[in-house]
Amino acid sequence: MSTPETSSRPPNDNPILWVAKPLLTAAKQFRKSLFRPSTIVYPFERLEDPKFREEVAVAAGKPIGIGAVWDNYRGVHALNIDTCISCNLCAFSCPDLCIDMVNVAGGDPKHPKKCPEIDYGKCSYCGFCSDACPEGCLTMTTRYELSVTKRADMVFSPERLYQVYEQKLPMNPIRLERPENEDQILLDPPVCIGCNACARDCPTKCITMLDIVKPTAAPGEKMPKRIWKEPVINDSDCVRCGTCISVCPKECLFWGTRK
């Protein structure tokens, strides 16, 4: 035990004042809030409205809005379908598994474009999806009113998320920098069969299939004139979504670092 210090407790008997001080304090507050209490009359006054904040915080001298800045708020998502590249990163990064990739109009019928559909019944508004979005097309807005009467209405299809985007609400501006030493996607050349699946499905089209000649014949023999293709990944465009790894039929792509 450390050394006890002397008690700094104030004397607890003030028989003369008794309860006068608390009464006076309450009365002081009564006078202060007689005409304008600190409450925000919610549906009519909104904290995210900067004009209201200015009026109340500055003009009325009320504590409301001392710390309020709404730019970083994590509310309902806004999705710009046009720039979405269907990389799946938002769905991968969701801890609650509330994001589904669903087909949207556009894209060729064989490989339809997929965009996130968010179930707000499960969403915890952690913002990992918008952090993970490499194109900045899935962002969180300041909209927080979500009451619905049907459970099915909680699921926001990409089109509904696009409607939120079109409202041009203030959006969370934060973009995370990628770490310098993140893994790259590497190729195991002998296993590759050149099937083109990775290049076809790559959302950023950073994989190009380059022609190579597979030295399958022994030296001296006549080389087979068959042209093999091998993926070459443009690292600066790659968003590390791992789609190529998951579609590779031979598991010849993998994560790693090139030293």
Q: How near is the Cβ of 101 to other proteins at its closest, in Å?
A: 11
Instruction: Kindly report the number of other CB atoms within 10 A of residue 166's CB atom.
Output: 10
Q: Is 180 in the site for other proteins (CB under 8 A)?
A: yes
Take residue 42 and report the two structure tokens written for it: 């919610």
- Ordered alpha helix ranges (H), 33-94: 50-53, 89-93
Cα-flanking dihedrals φ and ψ of residue 155, to 5°?
-85, 120
Q: Among 66, 110, 151, 219, which residue interacts with other proteins (rule: CB under 8 A)?
A: 66
* C-alpha to C-alpha distance for 116 and 138, rounded to whole angstroms: 9
Instruction: Give the interface segment with other proteins, choosing from 146-154, 208-216, 225-233, 250-258 (CB under 8 A).
Output: 250-258
Q: Is 177 in the site for other proteins (CB under 8 A)?
A: yes
Question: Which candidate, 149, 176, 172, 155, places its Cα nearest to that of 239?
Answer: 176
Residue placing its CB nearer to other proteins in the complex, 126 or 195: 126
> Left, alpha or beta for 179 (phi > 0: left; psi -120 to 50: alpha)?
beta
Q: Is 127 in the site for other proteins (CB under 8 A)?
A: yes
* C-alpha to C-alpha distance for 60 and 36, rounded to whole angstroms: 8
Residue placing its CB nearer to other proteins in the complex, 106 or 136: 136
Residue placing its CB nearer to other proteins in the complex, 19 or 218: 19
227-246 residues near other proteins, rule: CB under 8 A: 240-242, 246
Q: How near is the Cβ of 163 to other proteins at its closest, in Å?
A: 22
The site for other proteins, by CB under 8 A, has a size of 84
Q: Is 74 in the site for other proteins (CB under 8 A)?
A: yes
**One character per residue 182-221, x = contact with other proteins (rule: CB under 8 A):** xx--x-----------------------------------
* C-alpha to C-alpha distance for 39 and 72, rounded to whole angstroms: 23
**One character per residue 25-64, x = contact with other proteins (rule: CB under 8 A):** xxx-xx-xxx--xxx-x-----x---------------xx
**Contacts of the segment 44-49: beta carbons below 8 A, 24+ positions apart:** 48/73, 48/142, 48/170
Q: Among 181, 211, 219, 236, which residue interacts with other proteins (rule: CB under 8 A)?
A: 181
Q: Is 247 in the site for other proteins (CB under 8 A)?
A: no
Q: Among 89, 98, 115, 202, which residue interacts with other proteins (rule: CB under 8 A)?
A: 89
128-147 residues near other proteins, rule: CB under 8 A: 128-129, 131-132, 140
* C-alpha to C-alpha distance for 178 and 145, rounded to whole angstroms: 32
User: Which contiguous run of DSSP H or E holds residue 30?
Assistant: helix 20-32
